[in-house]
């Protein structure tokens, strides 16, 4: 399990992760605007193709060297990254963004739960679970949620969990540069798949600027930042901090989609934020204990 180095401020990975989540939410809103033109598979192809190109130029993944023990995690990391993108976009074709993000979050939440070792870790996970439970529109609205879309969101969550676990192992020595190679693995499979499903509509020059924006906001920037954070904090802390993702989606809906929140949903947001803050404080204490052990 990675620990924070002496030179890295304990709060820095947290800030990096918040920026990454904000970027992803912005990219998701932009991506949904392209669905009427090229569909979810087409947007996936655009995102991975252009995002991989940007990452390759920046990080030059052909220079990286991986040990035999890292190759299988790297392959699984790339496959989970591509499948996560593909399934999530399929889900938000028919499921509201906030619900899809909440369902997808079951992946990192499971990582946080199964990685917990102390009682205090379960407190933060419980707060996150309670927040998600009340944030979802339980009641008559759930009956109108498309089951196929919900299943795709849950599948994306499973891929997200695998992405966290394998990404930490594959990227331990190379940090954010690992994302470039992982994205290349994902692109080899999901770009042709998405291009075939999208058809000729994908090849219009008019959609290229939007595709480039999605690639930067949803792939190149956040995945690089997530890898930096992922290799500098415990897996369970990373998973619990990602509980802010549904909260950010809800706020984004308020700002850009004129959605409103009930008092219960506001309390749910506060519960999720409290879980993230508590997890961050736990990380600080754990980092200090680790440094004392190293000094000994």
Taking only the tens place, the pLDDT of each residue in 251-293 is 776 776 566 667 777 787 788 777 777 776 666 555 443 333 3
In a domain, 16, yes or no: yes
Please check whether residue 244 is in contact with residue 24, taking contact to mean a CB–CB distance below 8 angstroms. no
In a domain, 127, yes or no: no
In a domain, 100, yes or no: yes
In a domain, 146, yes or no: yes
Residue 93 CB partners (closer than 8 Å, separation 6+): 35, 39, 40, 149
In a domain, 212, yes or no: yes
In a domain, 246, yes or no: no
What does the block give as tokens for 238? 């990373």
Question: What's the rounded Cα separation, in Å, for the pair 62 and 6?
Answer: 30
Please check whether residue 84 is in contact with residue 48, taking contact to mean a CB–CB distance below 8 angstroms. no
In a domain, 276, yes or no: no
In a domain, 110, yes or no: yes
pLDDT in tens, 149-182: 888 998 999 998 998 888 877 766 666 678 888 8
Domain range for residue 201? Answer: 12-117+139-234
Query: How many structural domains is the chain composed of?
Result: 1
pTM: 0.77
DSSP of 181-216, one letter per residue? HHHHHHHHHHHHHHHHHHGGGGG-GGGHHHHHHHHI
């Amino acid at each position: 399990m990675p620990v924070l180095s002496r030179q890295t401020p304990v709060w820095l990975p947290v800030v990096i992760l918040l920026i990454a989540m904000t970027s992803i939410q912005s990219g998701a809103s932009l991506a949904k605007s392209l669905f009427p033109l090229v569909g979810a598979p087409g947007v996936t192809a655009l995102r991975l193709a252009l995002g991989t190109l940007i990452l390759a130029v920046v990080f030059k993944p052909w220079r990286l060297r991986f040990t035999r023990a890292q190759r299988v995690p790297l392959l699984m990391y790339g496959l989970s990254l591509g499948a996560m993108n593909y399934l999530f976009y399929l889900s938000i074709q028919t499921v509201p963004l906030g619900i899809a993000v909440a369902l997808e979050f079951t992946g990192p939440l499971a990582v946080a739960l199964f990685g917990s070792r102390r009682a205090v870790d379960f407190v933060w996970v419980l707060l996150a679970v309670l927040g998600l439970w009340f944030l979802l529109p339980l009641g008559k609205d759930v009956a109108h949620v498309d089951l196929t879309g919900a299943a795709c969101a849950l599948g994306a969550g499973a891929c997200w969990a695998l992405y966290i676990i394998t990404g930490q192992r594959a990227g331990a020595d190379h940090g954010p540069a690992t994302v470039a190679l992982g994205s290349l693995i994902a692109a080899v499979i999901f770009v042709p798949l998405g291009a075939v499903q999208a058809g000729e509509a994908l090849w219009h020059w008019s959609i290229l600027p939007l595709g480039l924006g999605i690639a930067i906001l949803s792939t190149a920037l956040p995945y690089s930042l997530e890898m930096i954070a992922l290799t500098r904090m415990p897996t369970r802390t990373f998973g619990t901090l990602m509980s802010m993702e549904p909260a950010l989606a809800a706020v984004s809906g308020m700002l850009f989609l004129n959605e409103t929140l009930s008092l219960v949903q506001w309390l749910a947001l506060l519960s999720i934020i409290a879980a993230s803050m508590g997890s961050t404080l736990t990380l600080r204490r754990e980092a200090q204990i680790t440094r004392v052990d190293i000094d000994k």
